[in-house]
Chain A
Amino acid sequence: MIQVLVNGVFLGCLFAVVAVGLTLVYGVMEVPNFAHAGVIVLAAYATWSASAAGLPFALAALVGIACGAAVSVLTEVVAYRWIIDNPAAAPAVALGLMLILQNTALRLFGGEGRSMDTPYDQVLVEFGGVSLSGVKVALVVLAVLALTALHLILSRTSLGRAMRAVAQDRGAAAMLGIPMRRQYTLAFLIAGLLAGIAAVAYAPTFQVSPYMADEVLLSAFVVVVVGGLGSVWGAVAGGLVLGVVEGLGSAYLSSAYQSAFGFLLLVLILVLKPGGLRGATGRRVA
């Protein structure tokens, strides 16, 4: 039972890191960033290529994270920047970008999955009768570190204050002289870094392939919906809840239908909150 819960927490950390990236971008720009999946895929491939080229794993991981950040910022500069005044076009542009990024990966690296080796592959951490592979421990540690860092940035620095201001009211923030363009780019930069961390952390447990992020992205979107679009702590809490639900479902009912349990949770929440989720869109970033 505890083992199952721990596995659920592992999944939850993964969902939370991806979901926070989505919700940050949504908070400042109101874009449902489907292209996030493509960013994760490219970051994972960058790590894989760098480590195949002989770089030590830690360096390769940094290459991957940097690549995620670069690609994410690129999507903002090339596409999203031009639709700020037309939010209705956002889903379409996001879908277009996702097609482009995923198929770029398919074109460059082929469709077959590749396994990523890490120095902590063989490590098995045992703690109070619960065993967890080194890869999963690394993911949980990375997730906690990344989210804590993000929280500190958002709550303690002037940069974070500006970002929260933009998320609360774009018009007022612009009037007060906050440079909007920089905030947009910054949100995508942070989202890209988080995508890179997610990719490096979970690619070793799955395979690196152009479609590796599809299911994670879907679950992360559910997390965002459950936690409220634009709310970072909602995303963290939602991620843990969803991870535990999917972990329990796949352990006790059927592992083939793992993500279906997340869907059931979503349906349940929608049915139990008959007013819809409008209440959750009080747009906040922290």
Chain B
Amino acid sequence: MRKHASALGSSALLSVLAYLALTGLQGDQGQVALLVVVWTIALTGLNVILGLGGYPSMAHAAFFGGGAYLSAILLEKGLSMTVAAVVSVAAIMLVGFLVALVFSRTRGQYFAIGTMFFTAVAFLVFTNAAEFTGGPTGRPVDLGYSLDATVVLLAVSVGAGLAVFHLISVSRFGDRLRAIREDEDLAQHLGVPTARVKLLAVVVSAGFAAWAGVLFGQYNGVIAPSQFTFVQSFLMFVALGLGGAGRLLAPVVGALVVIGLTQLLNLGPGVSQIVLGVLFIAVTLLAPNGILGGITALTRKVRRKEAVA
């Protein structure tokens, strides 16, 4: 019970923090706050398939962009915002289902390559289907909800998303995903319906990403293909790995580190990504469970020393 309380409590606390950051920060800092919040929502979805299931999905930026573009197009066609949002998220989850149907046959590195290619193709569509997407320069997004409502939705989604992730993580679904991550053949042998579990995990992650995309479009007002390249998928993968894939708060830590490094520190073009690459390799080599995993291991060590002394 205490485990539930601390997880759900920290989710609610992060919602409040997100709201304060979004309303309190202006200008560039406000933009950074928005990106951190949106990434947290999207990465929470990635944490299901990558963190719990161990499948390196590189399709996340495509789902994210798909949600943003689709909701903008539907909104323009005269649908109400709520309908547009629901239809977009459902449609992207369907796309996720199809992607998973093809690529969940592959494992590990094959899966990463296949989903990465999917993101590259989605980018081609965003760039070339100009009558819908506005082409390479992007398109404006009509205001569906008032800005205040969007901010509240963003903040609530952070907490709600993390809470959903926690419930998934402690459910049988979560256990099955972890079993697949540890040893897929063994899991299948023991009766885990691996194909179905993986499919569901990709669909859930696509839903999170699409919803994050819808909110991003609403708050940002413009969307462009360059925001949804497969490099963005890389960066999402990097962010979750840095935070500590599979852990509840990994999306928050990862988003803060990656967005903070690329947006806040003004190091000139490219340098922040070089730093990110070095940091990522260092964390992978020194703390394979990410920053959060490293902190946990460190505190455990310190406590053990105290107990000995």
Residues of A participating in the B interface, judged by any CB pair closer than 8 Å: 32, 79, 82-83, 86, 88-93, 95-100, 102-104, 106-107, 110-111, 210, 214-215, 218, 221-222, 224-225, 229, 254, 256-257, 259-260, 262-263, 266-267, 270-271, 274-278
Minimum C-beta distance from B255 to chain A (A): 17
Q: How far is the CA of A149 from the CA of B56 in the complex (A)?
A: 36
Q: How far is the CA of A104 from the CA of B284 in the complex (A)?
A: 21
Q: Which 9 A-B pairs have the closest CB atoms?
A: A99-B277, A103-B270, A100-B277, A106-B270, A96-B281, A96-B280, A276-B105, A107-B270, A96-B277
| Chain B stretch 264-280: residues in CB contact (< 8 A) with chain A | 268-271, 273-274, 276-278, 280
| Contact (Cβ within 8 A) A111 B277 | no
B168 to chain A, nearest CB (A): 22
Instruction: Return B13 CB to nearest CB of chain A, in Å.
Output: 30
Q: Are A104 and B270 in contact (CB under 8 A)?
A: yes
* CB-defined contacts of A271 to chain B, threshold 8 Å: 102
**Docked-complex contact B280 and A92, CB < 8 angstroms:** yes
19 additional A-B pairs beyond A98-B234, A229-B110, A276-B110, beta carbons within 8 Å, are: A91-B109, A92-B280, A93-B281, A95-B237, A95-B277, A96-B238, A96-B278, A99-B274, A99-B277, A100-B278, A103-B277, A104-B270, A107-B268, A215-B120, A221-B113, A229-B109, A256-B127, A259-B117, A274-B105
Structural contact, B234 and A92, CB atoms closer than 8 A: no
Q: Which of B124, B127, B269, B285 contacts A106 (CB 8 A)?
A: B269
Q: Is the CB of B234 within 8 A of A95?
A: yes
Residue B241 at the chain A interface, CB threshold 8 Å: yes
Q: A86-B288, A99-B277, A107-B274 are in contact. Are A263 and B117 (CB under 8 A)?
A: yes
Chosen A-B contacts, 12 in total, with CB atoms closer than 8 Å, are A79-B281, A91-B108, A99-B276, A99-B277, A100-B278, A103-B270, A107-B271, A225-B113, A260-B124, A263-B117, A266-B117, A271-B102
CB-defined interface of B109-123 with A at 8 Å, one 1/0 digit per residue? 110111011101100
Q: In the assembly, what is the distance between CA of A49 and CA of B78, in Å?
A: 54
A277→B102 contact, CB < 8 A: no
B106 contacts the other chain (Cβ, under 8 Å)? yes
Q: Does B165 contact A (CB under 8 A)?
A: no
Bound state CA distance, A257 and B125, in angstroms? 8
Does B284 contact A259, Cβ atoms closer than 8 Å? Answer: no
- The binding surface of chain B is classed by DSSP as helix
Identify the closest chain B residue to A210 (Cβ).
Answer: B270
> Which chain B residue has the least Cβ–Cβ distance from A90?
B109
Within 94-148 of B, Cβ neighbours of A (below 8 Å) are at: 102-103, 105-110, 112-114, 116-118, 120-121, 124, 127-128
- Residues of A within 8 Å of B234, CB to CB, are 95, 98-99
Of A32, A110, A271, chain B has the most CB atoms within 10 Å of the CB of A32
| Chain A min CB distance to B234 (Å) | 5
A259-B121, A270-B103 known; A97+B277 contact, CB < 8 A: yes
A276 and B106: CB pair below 8 A?
Answer: yes
- Cα-based distance from A99 to B276 in the complex (angstroms): 8
The listed residue (A90, A100, A111, A260) touching B274 by CB distance below 8 A is A100
Instruction: Flag if B106 contacts A222 (CB, 8 Å).
Output: no
On chain B, the residues within 8 Å of A266 by CB distance are 114, 117
In the bound complex, CA of A86 to CA of B62 (Å): 29
Q: CB distance A97 to B281 under 8 Å?
A: yes
Question: How far does the Cβ of A69 sit from chain B's closest Cβ, in whole Å?
Answer: 21
What distance in Å separates the Cβ of A279 from its nearest Cβ neighbour in chain B?
Answer: 12
Q: Are A263 and B120 in contact (CB under 8 A)?
A: yes
**Within 8 Å CB of A107, what residues of B?**
268-271, 274
Which of A91, A93, A102, A210 gathers most chain B CB within 10 Å? Answer: A91
> A286 CA to B118 CA in the complex, in Å?
30
Report the bound CA distance from A106 to B267 in whole Å. Answer: 13
CA distance A83 to B280 in the complex (A): 14
Do B281 and A256 have beta carbons less than 8 Å apart? Answer: no
The answer for the CA separation of A102 and B235 in the assembled complex, in Å, is: 14
Complex contacts, B107 vs chain A, CB 8 Å: 276, 278
Which residues on the A side are within 8 Å of B117 (C-beta)?
218, 221-222, 259, 262-263, 266
Per-residue CB contact flags for chain B residues 272-309 toward chain A (1 = under 8 Å, else 0) read 01101110110011001000000000000000000000
Q: A107-B269, A225-B114, A274-B105 are in contact. Are A256 and B128 (CB under 8 A)?
A: yes
Set of chain A residues within 8 Å of B114, measured between Cβ atoms: 225, 266, 270
**B155-187: which residues lie under 8 A (CB-CB) from chain A?**
none
Q: B272 to nearest A CB, angstroms?
A: 8
Contact with A along B224-236 (1 / 0, CB 8 A): 0000001000100
Bound complex: CA of A139 vs CA of B76, how far in Å?
Answer: 48
- Cross-interface CB contact of B284 among A96, A106, A210, cutoff 8 Å: A96
Write the nearest CB–CB distance from B47 to chain A, whole angstroms: 15
Q: Which residue of A lies closest to B273 (CB)?
A: A103
Q: Which of B56, B109, B270, B277 contacts A98 (CB 8 A)?
A: B277
Do residues A89 and B276 form an inter-chain contact, with CB atoms below 8 A? no
- Select B124's contact among A100, A257, A275, beta carbons within 8 Å: A257
In the complex, A229→B280 CA distance in Å? 25
User: A32-B113, A111-B269 in contact; A260/B238 too (CB < 8 A)?
Assistant: no
Task: Give the chain A neighbours of B278 by CB distance below 8 A.
Answer: 96, 100
Residues of B within 8 Å of A110, CB to CB, are 269
Contacts of B237 in A (CB 8 A): 92, 95
Q: Which residues of B contact A91 (CB under 8 A)?
A: 56, 108-109, 112
Q: Which of B121, B268, B269, B277 contacts A260 (CB 8 A)?
A: B121
